Amino acid sequence: MKPKKPIIPVIILIILIVTLSWFYFKNKRDSNNYSTGIIEADEIKIYSEVSGKITEILKNENDSIKKDDILLTIDDSYYKLQLNQAEANVKAIEYKLEEAKAGSRNEQIEQAENTANQIKALLNGAEKNLEFAENDLKRAEELYNNELISQSQFEQAQNRYYTAKSQYEAYKSQYQASLNQLQLLKEGSTSYTIKNLEATLEQAKALRDIANLNLQKTKVISPVDGIINKKLVNIGELVNPGTPLFSIIDFNNLWIKIYVPEKDLSKIRLGQKVKIKADPFKDKVFNGEIVYISNKAEFTPKNIQVREDRLNIVFEVKIKIYDNEKLLRPGMYAEVSLGG
């Protein structure tokens, strides 16, 4: 009978090999600083910026969308009328401004010249009457001083003079006013009038631009590439500025949050490039970049009671994921290699 081979040493050898292998791969993995996390993405809320009834919804939940895709439309009838009114107001003010800069019509100038000439003729007549009344007063004063006429006759001469002078001054003032008016008509509107119209025109153009902008906002467009996560309204609903319409997952801003132990914090830095593997794509490596490292440590677990548990102090790290092929989705588990 052959002697049995010892079994225990073989078992011990197998256990030793397994144990050494486990430590080898663990150390190798640890040296590469692997961390795991869940892929996340920014969620963008889309709100209405105008009031009105929803007339059409072009995108629904889980639909893929591109930047500038129209998501829904709001009744634009009122906003078209507003824009037409604003444009008509701009044209009316532009016409007034052109007329003001061009000056007055020839007929108005001719009429003003005729009025000035008529007043000038009356002024000339009043001037002659004043000269006659002044000479008559001088003679009356001389006769009165020589007691050749009565005081009543002298006062009558004075009254005729004062009346003639008052009439002359009145016609003189009217004639100067007619000349000023004629000058204004010949020169056109004053600079103040033109500046006022120019300011009014700028205000009207601003109101037109606002009306046009409001009309454009009746078509709600996507600001990013992504997927419709939630549709929050239905056709026929009335919305107001601030009414939520959609939530969109932004695939241009995928990221993963991991926690790095305090002892490894010195091995990472902002802007550091990393490699990422996601569970559904085991053979594919995605690039990433560290964009945030927390300044505040966290404890895992939270209830720290003994000194040894301080080894569980970690720092939150956020990594931006570059996925040009749009393969990754929020919620996927992924593994990050920080290098080593």
Q: Output the domain CATH number for residue 169.
A: 1.10.287
Q: What percent of the chain has pLDDT over 70?
A: 84
**127/204 same-domain check:** yes
Q: What percent of the chain has pLDDT over 90?
A: 46
Contact 243, 52 (CB under 8 A): no
28 belongs to a structural domain: no
Amino acid present at 36: T
91 belongs to a structural domain: yes
59 belongs to a structural domain: yes
Q: What share of the chain is helix, strand, coil (3-state, %, to 5)?
A: 50, 30, 25
123 exposure class (CB count in 10 Å sphere: 0-12, 13-18, 19+): buried
pLDDT of residue 189: 57
**149/232 same-domain check:** no
State the total domains in the chain: 3
**Residue 177 exposure: Cα atoms within 13 Å on the Cβ side:** 8
Angle of CA points 270, 275, 280, to nearest 5°: 135
3 belongs to a structural domain: no
**58/167 same-domain check:** no
pLDDT of residue 101: 77
301 belongs to a structural domain: yes
pLDDT of residue 37: 87
Secondary structure, 3-state, 11-24: HHHHHHHHHHHHHH
Question: What confidence tens digit (pLDDT) does each residue in 146-158 have?
Answer: 888 898 898 898 8
- The structure tokens listed for 106 are 């020839």
Task: Tell whether the model's pLDDT for residue 216 goes beyond 70.
Answer: yes
**70/139 same-domain check:** no
**223/331 same-domain check:** no
pLDDT of residue 301: 40
- The structure tokens listed for 98 are 């052109």
**112/204 same-domain check:** yes
113 belongs to a structural domain: yes
Q: Measured in whole angstroms, how far is the alpha carbon of residue 8 from the centre of its chain?
A: 81
pLDDT of residue 28: 45
pLDDT of residue 1: 46
**163/242 same-domain check:** no
pTM: 0.58
**192/89 same-domain check:** yes
pLDDT of residue 327: 84
Rounded CA gap, 225 and 335, in Å? 25
Mean pLDDT of 47-67: 94
Question: What confidence tens digit (pLDDT) does each residue in 166-198 have?
Answer: 889 988 989 998 898 888 777 765 677 788 889
**143/62 same-domain check:** no
Task: Tell whether the model's pLDDT for residue 322 goes beyond 60.
Answer: yes
Mean pLDDT of 129-142: 92
Angle of CA points 302, 303, 305, to nearest 5°: 140
**205/273 same-domain check:** no
- The structure tokens listed for 61 are 């939940």
pLDDT of residue 111: 87
Q: Is 17 or 59 the better-scoring residue by pLDDT?
A: 59
Mean pLDDT of 118-133: 92
Task: Tell whether the model's pLDDT for residue 16 goes beyond 70.
Answer: no
Contact 229, 64 (CB under 8 A): no
Question: What confidence tens digit (pLDDT) does each residue in 232-251 have?
Answer: 999 999 999 999 999 999 88
pLDDT of residue 124: 93
Nearest partner of 139 among 156, 126, 125, judged by Cα: 156
Domain interval for residue 145: 85-211
Task: Tell whether the model's pLDDT for residue 306 goes beyond 50.
Answer: no
pLDDT of residue 24: 44
Highest mean pLDDT range out of 94-108, 155-169, 325-339? 155-169
Contact 64, 222 (CB under 8 A): no
Task: Tell whether the model's pLDDT for residue 108 goes beyond 90.
Answer: no
Sheet of 70-74, strand order: 219-221, 70-74, 52-57, 238-239
Which pLDDT band, with edges at 50, 70 and 90, does 304 fall under? very low
Q: Collapse the DSSP code of 320 into the 3-class scheme (helix H, G, I; strand E, B; otherwise coil) and give the result.
A: strand
56 belongs to a structural domain: yes
Q: Is 338 or 172 the better-scoring residue by pLDDT?
A: 172
Residue 295 is given by DSSP the state E
Which pLDDT band, with edges at 50, 70 and 90, does 25 fall under? very low
Task: Tell whether the model's pLDDT for residue 326 goes beyond 50.
Answer: yes
4 belongs to a structural domain: no
Q: Collapse the DSSP code of 303 into the 3-class scheme (helix H, G, I; strand E, B; otherwise coil) and give the result.
A: coil
**89/206 same-domain check:** yes
Task: Tell whether the model's pLDDT for residue 265 goes beyond 90.
Answer: no
CATH number of the domain residue 297 falls in = 2.40.30.170
**91/201 same-domain check:** yes
